[in-house]
Amino acid sequence: MAVIHIDEVQGSDAPGTSGTESSPFKSLGEAFLALGSDNEYRVKKKDDEEYKPAAKSALKKAAAYVEAQQKKRIAAAKRAEKESQEEAAREAALEEAKKIPLVEDPSLPQAILVNITETDPNVVGQLRKSQDEPKEGVRRVRVQGRVHRVAKQGGLIFVTLRRGLDFMQCLLSGTLSKTYGALTLTRETSMEIFGELWEVPAGARAPLDRELRADFFRIIAKAPGGLDAFTNRVPVDGDTQTLLDLRHLTLRHDKPSAILFVRDILESAFHKAYKEMKCTKVSPPALVQTQVEGGATLFKFDYYGETAYLTQSSQLYLETVLPSLGDVYCIEKSFRAEKSLTRRHLSEYTHIEAELDFITFEDLLDHLERLICRVMEIVLENPVATKAVQQYNPEFKKPTQPFKRMRYTEAIEWLNTQEPPILNEEGNPHVFGDDIAEAAERKMTDEIGCIIMLTHFPAEIKSFYMQRAADDSRVTESVDVLVPGVGEVVGGSMRTWDHEELLSAYKREGIDPSSYYWYTDQRKYGSTPHGGYGIGAERSVSKEEHEPTFDNQEDLVLVMMAPSTSAAYGGETLSIWEILEMRLRVVMCGRSREAVEENRKPSSRDQASNPLSMIICRKKVQNCLGKEITKLQESPEVVKNLPVPEG
């Protein structure tokens, strides 16, 4: 009988442990499991103790542990043997399946290619109900899509085919379900299925209450299975970083695709609402030489020897076309070199902006109420969008007028009178002049429980172009629209429209007015009271699709800017193709007056030297494209590790 040592502090249960004083086990159970019960077991619980004989109760527990582990090993061995037999049977079946030819019956009528959502009987024919009824009016069709789900039931294989957001249930039976292609179908495989459309049996459910009973199928491109299968690479419940790194695949899951669809409907709704309000759409530049929201968040780069930036906002350019077009709007990309990696900050986002002429501040607030309510109304008129909203945010309520209006000073008072008070970022009660932090703002909005139009912010924390209030020069005629569960979704204000006041604002903020000559000119030639706002599309969608597992703007970003996913919402690196695209959109860049005059030539086609030009001739674009590609190829820090797309 050997003496086996267990040191519960310094011991180890790793393979190769002998149980001597120099190589003790860590646990009595593992020692029993490795060496059996016919030994003397001595245990040390602390470093400063001597080894002592194991207690009878401890020996009893160790014996029970060994018995349980042995049962598990036996069960695991049986399971492994069964799996091995099943795998062998599967391999044998697959080998047999390879012998079954997959050939289209030439005696069948030619199949008509239809969309999986097509329901017109004149196109898809009549739905079959039973084998006994005549086939009059029944047509043979073929549909194309990607495999979304595969379910095997007896000798039947149910395939859910996906085309975008639409689905069709297809049934493979008989010899067809025994073919190699059918038995090895994988998620995301693209395929074409031929057959007749049937009503689904009573009690069964399928998209549009029908299914395609296949007589033939063709694999277009097979997706991998095994460890490289789609659901293994991007599982629905996978960790966030993996899903972001593989965003190009994650987008194929139900929720991301539905949300992208809702986003499309949302943008369409804005277009429709703006047209109803007689607003004209324009396309301002993405490449500028001016700042709107402060220089700290500008993406800067060299533009043929001059400094240029990716636009933070199209507001200034929208203001320049008010005299020529009246009320205007745009839906364009904006860029902010944000240093904060938060749900509120994206480096690239879709910016919905509008400018309205001949209005008061009250007019601006009324307009925002009408716009938001009308847009949501249009979105919810779409049944697919409504279903997605209800599925991912069942508590969503359509906004109704009027919205609660609250002044900044009232918000400060509200925050300070809570029990306990909601403090500022320094841990002190809020005072006039504080920029209310996101957390405090969201807390207030969620507690009040309705949409809030927070107005009249101090001039010191707002941009230079905002009009000061007539009744209190300390504050601006500005507004943030706050939504429960999301926070700020709209920021707007009346614009400084007096020429001298604007020049004073430049001086106060230390801004060189020479780059803004075109903006300043608007105040010289028939200036008017006007105002506008910006809406983040990502935040708007997050309100509709809000839920704990889909709560961040990052989830709404279609494609990452660089191989590192963090660059999309906090980094400063754009891909070569995005920089190239942005550089080519130089149609209204605010250049200095000297640069404009230097390039000006007396010509009827003088668009190239006009900072408000909407036109670049084809040859100029081609030349620019060639120069930009050459320039970017010479910038290894930009193109490093980035694949070049074919074509």
Q: Write the DSSP string, 453-471.
A: EEE--BGGGS-TTBPBPSS
Give the ranges where 472-613 is alpha helix by DSSP (H). 499-509, 517-521, 537-544, 576-584, 593-599
Among 241-250, 266-275, 457-466, 562-571, the range scoring the smallest mean pLDDT is 562-571
- Which tokens in the block code for residue 567? 């660059």
Query: Residue 547's pLDDT is what?
Result: 38
pLDDT at 130: 87
Question: What would the two tokens of residue 438 be?
Answer: 């996101």
- Two structure tokens written together for 255: 């929720």
The DSSP letter of residue 645 is: P
The tokens for 217 are: 């199928």
- State the average pLDDT over residues 582-609: 36
pLDDT, position 619: 38
How far apart are alpha carbons 201 and 209 in whole angstroms?
9
Contacts of 222 (CB under 8 A, 6+ apart): 184, 186, 189
**Amino acid 298: pLDDT:** 87
pLDDT of residue 345: 67
Question: DSSP letter string over 346-405?
Answer: -SEEEEEEEEEES--HHHHHHHHHHHHHHHHHHHTTSHHHHHHHHHH-TT-----SPPEE
- The CATH H-level (homologous superfamily) assignment of domain 254-403+450-633 is Bira Bifunctional Protein; Domain 2 (3.30.930.10)
Nearest to 267 by CA among 350, 327, 343: 350
Residue 601 has pLDDT above 50, yes or no: no
Q: Identify the pLDDT of residue 628.
A: 47
Quote the Cα angle for 248-254-258, to 5°: 90
Least confident of 299-313, 397-411, 451-465, 594-608: 594-608
In the predicted structure, residue 552 carries a pLDDT above the cut 50: no
- Model confidence at 447, in pLDDT bands (50, 70, 90)? very high
8-state DSSP, 548: T
- Cα–Cα distance, 463 to 455 (Å, whole number): 14
> Using an 8 Å Cβ cutoff, are 489 and 540 in contact?
yes
Six token digits for residue 393: 């945010």
pTM of the model: 0.73
- In this structure, the strands spanning 404-407 and 452-455 are parallel
DSSP-derived secondary structure letter, 20:
B
Per-residue pLDDT, averaged over 400-411, amounts to 97
Mean pLDDT, the chain, rounded, equals 84
pLDDT in tens, 477-510: 999 999 998 889 999 999 999 999 999 999 998 9
- Assess contact for 190 and 146: CB atoms under 8 A: yes
CATH fit for domain 112-228, picks 2.40.50.140, 3.30.428.10, 3.40.50.1110, 3.90.226.10: 2.40.50.140
Class of domain 3-72: alpha beta
Distance CA 34, CA 29 (A): 9
The CA distance from 162 to 147, in Å, is 6
pLDDT of residue 543: 52
Q: How confident is the model at residue 637 (pLDDT cuts 50, 70, 90)?
A: very low
- Whether the pLDDT of residue 240 is over 90: the answer is no
Rounded to whole angstroms, the Cα distance separating 572 from 595 reads 28
pLDDT at 290: 80
Position 561 pLDDT exceeds 50: no
- Over pLDDT 70: what percentage of the chain? 81
CA–CA gap between residue 289 and residue 517 (Å, rounded): 12
Taking a C-beta distance cutoff of 8 angstroms, is the pair 189, 223 a contact? yes
Listed by start position, the domains of the chain span 3-72, 112-228, 254-403+450-633
pLDDT at 642 over 60: no
Strands 287-288 and 280-281: unpaired
Residue type, 276: E
Mean pLDDT over residues 124-153, rounded?
93
**Which tokens go with 18?**
């002998």
DSSP single-letter state for residue 128: B
Q: How far apart are CA 557 and CA 536, in angstroms?
A: 12
What are the angstrom distances between the C-alpha of 362 and each of 367, 455, 481, 611?
9, 11, 14, 33
Is the pLDDT at 363 greater than 50? The verdict is yes
Per-residue pLDDT band at 66 (split at 50, 70, 90): very high
For residue 617, pLDDT over 70 is answered with no
pLDDT, position 641: 42
Which string of b and e fits 200-239 if b means at least 16 CB within 10 Å? beeeeebebebbbbbbbbebeeebeeeeeebeeebeeebe
Hey, what amino acid is at 549? T
The predicted-structure confidence for 297-314, as pLDDT tens digits, reads as follows 789 999 999 999 999 999
Q: Mean of the pLDDT values across residues 431-439?
A: 94
What proportions of the chain, in percent to the nearest 5, are helix, strand and coil? 40, 20, 40
CB burial readout 598-609, b (16+ within 10 A) else e: eeeeeeeeeeee
pLDDT, tens digit, 9 for 90 and up, residues 281-340 = 999 999 998 876 656 678 999 999 999 999 999 999 999 999 999 999 999 999 988 765
Q: Tell me the two tokens of residue 12.
A: 């180890």
pLDDT at 8: 94
Q: Does the pLDDT value for residue 60 go beyond 70? A: yes
Which of the residue ranges 51-60, 233-242, 484-493, 560-569 would you say has the lowest mean pLDDT?
560-569
Does 415 have pLDDT greater than 70? yes
Contact criterion met (CB below 8 Å) for 365 and 453: yes
